[in-house]
Structure 1
Amino acid sequence: MKIRGLIFDFDGTLLDSVELRIDSWKNAFKAYGVDVPEDLIRPMIGFPGVDLAKKFVRNPLDVEMLQEDYFLKNIESARFFQDVIPTLNKLKEMGIKTAVVTSTRRIVIQRFSIPVDHIVTIDDVSKGKPDTEPYLKAINMMGIRPEECIVVGDIENDLIPARRLKCISVLVKHGRNISSAFADYEIENIGDILDLIKKLEVNENR
């Protein structure tokens, strides 16, 4: 099957922002008198904010909004991984449609210029990842079938819905010693997706 579209997660996949996210959550929790260790927050970065917060507080929306405020105030420290923009531009040249599906609020996403065709935020759906709703929305916006789509993420929460929809799931590692039973393939950096597409197309033509 020819690859016609790619869906990317945002935080930790395209944007090197995980440490800033963790600091923002810790500060938000502390403001409400709750001390949540980093090792509990880290695995949940990428979950819908309310889902993360409600594991530790009774007012999850308030804490999430404060976390977003901390994040926005320090957003200049967050940068795209080095090969992200060139890779997205190359995909456009190749005629492959692209989308970002993220648990981040739209007010944050709007602070970045991302050269993709479509963006689906947590504000655009009733259920966030790992539900399939945001991925189905992006796939429909791109006008493709799930099996024609690659999903790239940095945690299992990104890959589980991809597997459910029979998309090709790809774990991007960014130098971390990680793996996932839900990943069809693993890549080190975002730019490696270009070689993977070529590999898949060669195998398809055999």
Structure 2
Amino acid sequence: MIKAVIFDLDNTLLDFLRMKEAAIDAAIEAMIDAGLKIDQADAKTRIYAIYETRGIEYQQVFDQFLEETLGKIDYKIHAAGIVGYRKAREAKLVTYPHVNLALTELLKRGLRLAVVSDAPRLQAWLRLCSLTLQHHFDVVVTFEDTGKKKPDPAPFLKALGELGVKPQEAIMVGDWAERDIEGARKIGIKTVFAKYGDVTGTKHSGADFEIEDILDLIPIVDKENG
């Protein structure tokens, strides 16, 4: 019997990559308006190269970008970029369709809900609170909680422990086959691949189930619980 549902956060509950790209575009436009002499496409390539090296959550990306581009940090340009980024982030940070409805339906069935994310703790909570999702979840496990990233079993095991359920009593929903699905599957958690959030064109997820809409999760849970 399924007693708990564990969700990945980015690209499973919220459209993170769409938000990130819009925020970066807005930041670059703001920095150019503030006096930065650079082509928009060139700036975007440089910023994403930093993310590729440092990780998509790297918080000093504009500092490094300006140091590499100008040889120093021009604080007028820097501040303009940060403000542009934050405004666009707030405007573009949205859940996927039917997320709130699906979470409500799961809670009505008495299931406990958790998030397991590789994001830094503060960033994960900021996203959840910005979307008023924080009250839906009994447990939120982020990178700082174990020092390990998926597919390492540690984040999944911590979530199970805090939820008070066994692996066979939980189901994991995620968009990244190699991390979300493989990591959960290896410790005996049933898995659901969120195809709607997949940006890499995954052909074989290895999941027990695949869904095109998060609401498709409801009949899966109902059938599992007979």
TM-score band w.r.t. shorter chain: 0.7 to 0.9
**More helix as a share of residues:** 2
| Residue equivalent to 1:174 | 196
Query: Does 2:58 align with 1:64?
Result: yes
Structure showing greater radius of gyration is 2
| Residue equivalent to 1:74 | 88
Count how many residue pairs are aligned between Structure 1 and Structure 2: 182
Instruction: Tell me how far apart the structure 2 counterparts of residues 172 and 61 of structure 1 sit (CA, whole Å).
Output: 23
Residue pairs, 1:131-170, within 5 angstroms: 131-156=152-177, 157-170=179-192
RMSD, aligned CA: 3.1
Instruction: Tell me how far apart the structure 2 counterparts of residues 83 and 190 of structure 1 sit (CA, whole Å).
Output: 7
Instruction: Tell me how far apart the structure 2 counterparts of residues 90 and 8 of structure 1 sit (CA, whole Å).
Output: 15
Q: 1:129 to 1:73 in 2, by over 3 A?
A: farther
Instruction: Tell me how far apart the structure 2 counterparts of residues 96 and 71 of structure 1 sit (CA, whole Å).
Output: 37
Query: Does 2:147 align with 1:126?
Result: yes
Question: Percent identity of the aligned residues?
Answer: 29
Per-residue deviation, residues 4-53 of structure 1 (Å, max 9, x unmatched):
1110001100001222335668989x87x94647xxxxxxxxxxxxxx95
Residue pairs, 1:75-114, within 5 angstroms: 75-76=89-90, 77-111=92-126, 112=129, 113-114=132-133
The unaligned stretches of length 5 or more in structure 1 are 38-51
Paired AA for residue 83 in structure 1:
H
Residue pairs, 1:35-74, within 5 angstroms: 36=48, 53=51, 56-57=52-53, 60=54, 64-66=58-60, 74=88
Paired AA for residue 74 in structure 1:
A
The unaligned stretches of length 5 or more in structure 2 are 29-41, 63-81
TM-score (normalised: structure 2):
0.69
Q: 1:144 to 1:66 in 2, by over 3 A?
A: same
